[in-house]
Structure 1
Amino acid sequence: MEKPRLYGACRMSASLTEDVPVETWSGKDQGDENFPVSRIVRRKWRPHVNAYYAFARNADDIADNPDLSANEKISRLDLMEAVLLGHADHGSPTASRLRDSLAETGINRAHATDLLVAFRRDAIKHRYDSWDELIDYCRYSAMPVGRYMLDLHGESRQTYPSSDALCASLQVLNHLQDCGKDLASLDRCYLPADILDANGARIADLRRSSCSLPLRQVLDDLLNRTERLNVEAAPLPGLTADRWLRVNVAIIHRLAERLAQRLRHGDPLARRVKLRGIDIALSLFQGLRAL
C-alpha cells in the first residue's frame, strides 16, 4: 500500500494550521446517497449518525477536490484527524462535532480514523491491481461505517463479518455506477487491472460512450463477486438485535441486490444506473418483514 508524504494525525504542512478551516461543502448530502442510513434509525441516535456522516462527507469532499494537490488534500485530512483525536482544537468543525459524539457514546475512534486512511489513499492512488487490493480499500472506506452503526446500537461483534461483506458490496457497486465519471473527473479507476487484463479490456474503454464487450465482461465479473458478498451479508439482519437497525440492514441488503441487478442489465457509461422507485418500494416492504 502506498503511503502519502504526510501520513499521521498531527503532521501538518507549514502553510496549513488549525486556524484555517479545512472544510468546504460540495453540496452533497444524504439525499445524494444510494443508501442513506439516518432516516430510519432511532431518534436518539440520529445526531450521532449525522455527526459521523458529516465527518465522512467532508473528508470525501477533500479527497475528491480537483483544485487541491495530493499533499494539500493529505494535510487537510491530517488536520481533521488531529482535531478528532484532540491534538488540535480548531480547523475542522465536523471533526470537533464527531469527537464530542464519540466521547458521549464511547464508540471506537478507529471507525473514523480508518475512513481517513481510505481518503488519503484516494489522494495519491488512482489505480488498483487486483480484487484483493480493492477489498483492502473497502476495509477502510466502507467497512468502518457498518461497524460504527453496529457499535452505536450495542450489537455483538459477531455481526462484523457479514456487515463487512455488505459494506464492501455497497462500495463496489458505487464504483461500478461511477466508473466512467471517476476516470473522467478524477483520473481514478477502481476496476482491478488483473480483471481488466483477463478480459482484454483497457482503462481507455471507460472513456467511451457505451461499454465495449470486454468492459462488459469486466463489469459482469465484478458483479459476480459483489453478489457473492451479498450472499455473505445475508445473515446480518438475523444477527442484529436492535429491531430498527435490523429493518435498516434488511432494506439496505435488498437495495444492494437490486442495484446489482440494475447494473447487470444497464450500461453505466451510457447513463447512470440507479435504483428506481419500484426497487425502493419492494426493498422497504421486504425489509419491514424483518421486524
Structure 2
Amino acid sequence: MTLQNAGKIRQRVKYTGDWHDFPDRMRGDDIESRGIARRPPTSVDRPMPTRDGRFQARCVSDTPNPGGIALICLTSLMTSEAKIEHYENFPVASVLLPREMRAPVGVIYNFARTADDIADEGDATNAERHAGLAAYQAELDKIAAGTPTSPDKPLFAALARVIVEHQLSVQPFSDLLSAFDQDIETKRYGTFAELRDYTRRSADPVGRIMLRLFKLDTPENIACSDDVCSALQLINFWQDVEVDWRKARVYLPQDDMARFGVTDADIGAQKYDDNWRALMRYEVDAARKMMLRGAPLANRVPGRFGLELCCVVHGGLRILDMIEAADYDVFRHRPQLGKSDGIRVFLRGLCMKLSGTPPKA
C-alpha cells in the first residue's frame, strides 16, 4: 500500500530522527530531512523530539509547502524541484489519511526512514551499518517480548505503543530491517525470484502494516497489497536504472539481462539499442501486470484512504506509460511526475474511486 505525500519541499537539517547514538560518520553534518514540516519555515535547523517519540524537522528553506498535488503523487517519482528524497513506500501525513492514523503512521515512518538511512546514507563502514541495524532489531526483540525498550531510544518507546495499541505484528518491521541489511552488501540479483524475495521484505511489509492499522488485513487484501507494493518498487527500479548504477547497484535480474543480451558494461555505457528496449519492455510489462493484479484493493478500501490508493495505482501506471513514451530510454529521459501529471493522476484516481472499476490492461 505504498503511498507518498509528494508535495514536500527539500529541507536541510543538522540532525534527524533517533540518530543521536549512532557514529558521527553515519549521521553527517548536513543531511536532508525525512520528517514532516507542519509549521512555517524557520531558521532553526535542529529537530526536537516530541513526547511520543516523533521528530519534527524545522526547515531552513523559504519555499512554502505545496498543496494539492501533494495528496496524490509518489514522492520517488516526482520532479526533484517538488520532492523530498525519502522512503519510497510510505504514506506520510497526507491529508487523505484519516487524522487518527497520522500519528501512528508518522512513528512507523520514522522507524523505516531512519533504519533505511543507516543502511544507505553517509560514509559509515559496512560493519557500522550492520551494527546499527542490529541495534534496531534488538529493540524490536524487546517489543516482541514485552520488555521495556532502551530509555535513550524514544523512537522505540513510541513504536511499542503503536504496535500494542493497534495489535501489529513485529515481523513486518523485522522484514524491513532484513531488506535494509541486505542492501548494504547485495548489489546484483541473479533472478527475478531473488529480486521478488527482496521486495517481499523491502516493500510488502509497509502495505501489510497499513492494512492492519485499518483492520483490513484479509488474505485477499494482503495478496493485492503485496502486488501493489512490489510493483511500485519495481517501477522505481526501472525508472532509476542510471541512478542506481551510480550507486554500483543493478536491480535488473541478471538472467533477464543475459536473455536479452544486455550486460553491466552496456548499462555503464548507457547503451541504448534494440536489446535494451526489449529488456525494458519485458520488465515494464511485468510490473504493469503486477500493479493491475493488485489494483482492485484500492476499490475495497473505504473513504479518503481508498482514494489515495487509487491515485497511487494510477501514479505508478503513469510512470510506466512515460517509460514507454520515451521508448525505454531511461538513461536520457528519466520519467518524473510533474504537476500536470499529478492532476491527470488525481482525476484518473477519482474516476476509479467513484466508478468502483480498477484499471485494465
TM score, norm. by length of structure 1: 0.85
Tell me the distance in 1 between the aligned counterparts of 2:348 and 2:261: 39
Of residues 318, 325, 346 in structure 2, which corresponds to 1:265? 325
Distance 1:222 1:236 in 2: 23
Root mean square deviation of aligned Cα: 2.4
Structure 1 residue 28 displacement after superposition: 4.9
1:182-221 counterparts in 2 under 5 A? 182-185=244-247, 187-209=248-270, 211-221=272-282
Within the candidate set 229, 238, 242, 1:180 is matched to 242
| Structure 1 gaps, min length 5 | 1-17
Structure-1 separation of matches of 2:115 and 2:274: 36
Deviates more, 1:272-281 or 1:26-35: 26-35
Q: Structure 1 residues 227, 28: CA separation in 2 closer, same or farther (over 3 Å shift)?
A: farther
Summarize the Cα distance change of 1:228–1:123 in structure 2 as closer, same or farther, 3 Å threshold: same
Secondary structure of the residue aligned to 1:85 is helix
| Offset, 1:78 | 0.9
Residues 61-111 of structure 1, C-alpha deviations (whole Å, 9 max, x = no match): 121135122222111011112123327505654444323322222211222
Q: CA deviation at 1:35?
A: 6.8
Equivalent in the alignment of 1:256 = 316
Q: Provide the C-alpha distance between the structure 2 equivalents of 1:173 and 1:256, rounded to a whole number of angstroms.
A: 7
Query: Which residue in the other structure is 2:56 paired with?
Result: none
Q: How far apart are residue 252 of structure 1 and its match?
A: 0.6
Q: Aligned runs of 1:65-76 on 2, under 5 Å?
A: 65=121, 67-76=123-132
| Pairs aligned (count) | 272
Residue 100 of structure 1 pairs with residue 161 of structure 2: yes
> Which aligned pairs between 1:102-251 and structure 2 lie closer than 5 A?
102-157=163-218, 158-185=220-247, 187-209=248-270, 211-240=272-301, 242-251=302-311
1:272-287 to 2 correspondence within 5 Å? 272-287=334-349
* Whole-angstrom distance in 2 between the partners of 1:199 and 1:90: 54
Q: Partner of 1:57 in structure 2?
A: 113
For 1:201, the aligned partner's letter is: V
Counterpart position of 1:8: none
Contact 2:89 2:203 survives alignment (8 Å): no
Deviates more, 1:83-92 or 1:103-112: 83-92
The percentage of aligned residue pairs carrying the same residue is 26
Which residue number in structure 2 is paired with residue 14 of structure 1?
A: none
**How far apart, in 2, do the equivalents of 1:104 and 1:72 lie?**
33
Q: Distance in 2 between matches of 1:82 and 1:178?
A: 33
Report the 3-state secondary structure (helix = DSSP H, G, I; strand = E; otherwise coil) of the residue aligned with 1:218.
helix
Worse overlay, 89-98 or 133-142: 89-98
More helix by share: 1
2:103 counterpart letter in structure 1:
P
Correspondence for 1:24 among 27, 52, 58 = 27
